[in-house]
Chains A and B, each alone.
Chain A
Amino acid sequence: MPAIVVAGLERAFGEFRAVQGIDLAVEEGEIYGFLGPNGAGKTTTVRMLTTLLLPTGGRASVAGHDVVSEARQVRASIGVALQEAALDPLMTGRELIRLQATLQGLPPVEGRKRADSLLERVDLAAAADRRVGTYSGGMQRRLDLAAALVHEPRVLFLDEPTTGLDPVSRKTIWEEVRALNDDGTTVFLTTQYLEEADQLADNVGIIDNGRIVAEGTPEELKAEVGNPHIELGVGEGAVAEAERVLGEIGRLLPPKGGKRVLVEVEQGSAEIPRVVRALDEAGIEVESLELVRPTLDDVFVDKTGYHLEEEEAGEESGERSPA
C-alpha cells in the first residue's frame, strides 16, 4: 500500500491557486524528492499532507489515513521537519526533544531514553544542555531532524532540510536521511537543489506553478530529455568550422557562449574517438573536451523552460532565466 496518496489536491489563497490539482503516490520505504523553485507549491503541499493546512480541493492520505477526516491518526504516523527549523532558541536541545516526546505521547522514562539516544545519533550529545539559540545552522537542522524522529514515524516529511547549510552539514543530513530510509522510513523530501534530489530520491516529482510537470525516477526523467552531449572548447577562430564538422556527427545544441561547441551523441563515450578524429582531420585544435550526461536541470529546463538553480540565483533580481 502506498504511504502517501494524493489525488487532485488543491489549495487556493483567495484568487491565488498555490497548488492546482496535483496527483502523486509514494510507496512505503521510498524517498520521494519533491523538486521545484521557491513559490512552486512545495511547502503548501507539505503543509496539507502534514495536516497543518486544509486543502481547498482534492484528497490526500498519509499512512493510510485521510489528512482531513483522520488528521490526528496522520499526525501520530508522521515526523515533520519544516523549512526554517521551527525551534525555540531559549530551550536546550534536550528540553526540546523531551517536549517532542511528550507531544507524541511517549511515557516520561521512554521519552528521556529516546532523547538521549537521538541526541547521540545526530552528534549533539555534548551540546544537549546548551540553548538552541547558540547552535549553528547545521546543528539546528540535526536537532530538528532528531525531534521529528522521536516517535519512530512511518513517514518523515523534510521540507528543504538543507537549504542554507554548508556542504559538510548538507552531506551529514543526507547520510542521516539515507540511514533512516535504510531502516524502512518513507521520506517525503522537498528541495530546490537538483543534486539533493538526484543523490537521495528514488522517485522525483517536479512541481512548477502549483502543478506537477514531471514524475519518475531520476534516471527515467533524464532519459526522457535526450542523449548525452560532448562539450568542446576550441580555438578562437575555429568555432564555425568545428560546428560544421560536428554537425555531421550529431545534433548541435545551443552554445553556452565563447569558444564552446555542444554536440549531442547517442552512444555517449563511445563516440568520443570519432569526434576527436573528425576535428583532427579538419585541423581544429581541441582545447578541452567533456562528456556531459543529462541532469535533472536539463529535465527541469525541458519541462518548465527555465533553469531551476539560475531561478534561485535570479530571484533576488526578481527575474526568471529562460533556458
Chain B
Amino acid sequence: MSDFAATARVVRALGARSIRQTFRRPQLISPIVVFPTLLLAIQTGGAGAGIELPGFPPVQSFLQFMLAGSMMQSMMLAGNSGGIAFAVDIEMGFTDRLFAAPIPRFAIVLGRLAGTAALGLFASIWFLAIGLIFGADIEGGVPGALLAMALITASALAVGGIGAAIALQTGSASVVQGLFPLVLVVLFLSSAFFPQALMVEPARTIAEYNPFSFIVEGVREPIIAGIDLTQTLEAVAAIAGIIALGLVLSARALKHRLRVG
C-alpha cells in the first residue's frame, strides 16, 4: 500500500471515530443540532414579519432567509465541538496513542477535521431538509442545494482547523469550550441572522468585513435567489483564508504540543 493510501485510510478511520464520538456524547451533538434548530424555530416564529422591512432582501419567507444562518451556526458549533473533543483526547492521553503510531502527525489533525467536515455536511442536510419540510424553496434547485452543502462542509473544515489549533496549543477542553460565546458574537456580527443593510453602526461595518458574512451570503444566495458566481467566489475566498489560517495555527500548535510532550 502506498504512503498516500495508508495515510488516507488513517484519516478516514480517525474521521469516522470523530463522528461516532460526537454522536455518542450528547454534550457534543446537542449544540450542533438542538440549539440551532430551536433558535431557527423561535426566530422564524417570532420575527417572521421582518421580511416586510424596507431593505430586506426579496425572499419567499423568513425561514428561507434564516436557513443559511442556521447552517452557519451549526457548522461553527461543530467546529467548536470538534476542538473540544480533540482537547479531551489530549487531556485523557488518547492523542499519545496516535502520536506513537507510525503515521504522519498531520494525519491526526486531518482525521479530526474530516470528522468535523462530515458534521458540517450533516448540518447542511439537516437544515435544508427542515426548510423543505416547512415549505421553503431552494431557488437554485439541486445545484444550489449542493453548492450550499459544499460551502458549509468546507467552512466546517476551516473552523475546525482553528478549533484544533486551540486544542493543540492549550490541551484544555475548558479553554476550547470557553470560546462558545465567541462563536455567537462572530455570528451575530455577520449577516447570518439579519441583513447587513438593516444593521446599525458599528455592527454594519464589522459585518461588512467579517469573513463569515461572505460565507453566509455565498450559502444564502443559492437558497433565496439562485447561484451567483461572484458571491460564490467571495465565499470560497473567505473559506480558503480561514483554512489557511487554521492550517498555519494547527501546524504551529502541533509543533508546540510535540515539544512540550
Contact = CB atoms under 8 A, between A and B. Distances in A.
B101 interface: yes
Interface in B1-47: 1, 6, 9-10, 13-14, 17, 20-21, 24-25
B89 A103 contact: no
A276 interface: no
Contact of B259 (A51, A54, A73, A82): A54
B102 interface: yes
Give the interface residue-count category, chain B. Answer: 20 to 34
Contact of A99 (B13, B25, B96, B260): B13
Contacts of A169: none
A52 B93 CA distance: 11
Interface of B: 1, 6, 9-10, 13-14, 17, 20-21, 24-25, 89, 92-94, 96-103, 258-261
A200 B134 CA distance: 68
Given A47-B261, A54-B258, A107-B1, A86 B94 contact: yes
Interface of A: 13, 44, 47, 50-54, 72-73, 75-76, 78, 80, 82, 84, 86-88, 90-91, 95, 99-100, 102-105, 107, 131, 147
B97 A86 contact: yes
A91 B93 contact: no
A91 B100 contact: no
Contacts of A52: 96, 99-100, 258, 261
A75 B101 contact: yes
A150 to B, nearest CB: 10
Q: Which of B20, B89, B98, B101: most chain A Cβ within 10 A? A: B101
24 contacts: A13-B260, A44-B261, A51-B100, A52-B100, A52-B261, A54-B258, A54-B261, A72-B102, A78-B100, A80-B97, A86-B97, A87-B94, A88-B21, A90-B24, A95-B17, A99-B17, A102-B13, A103-B97, A103-B101, A104-B101, A105-B1, A105-B102, A107-B1, A147-B97
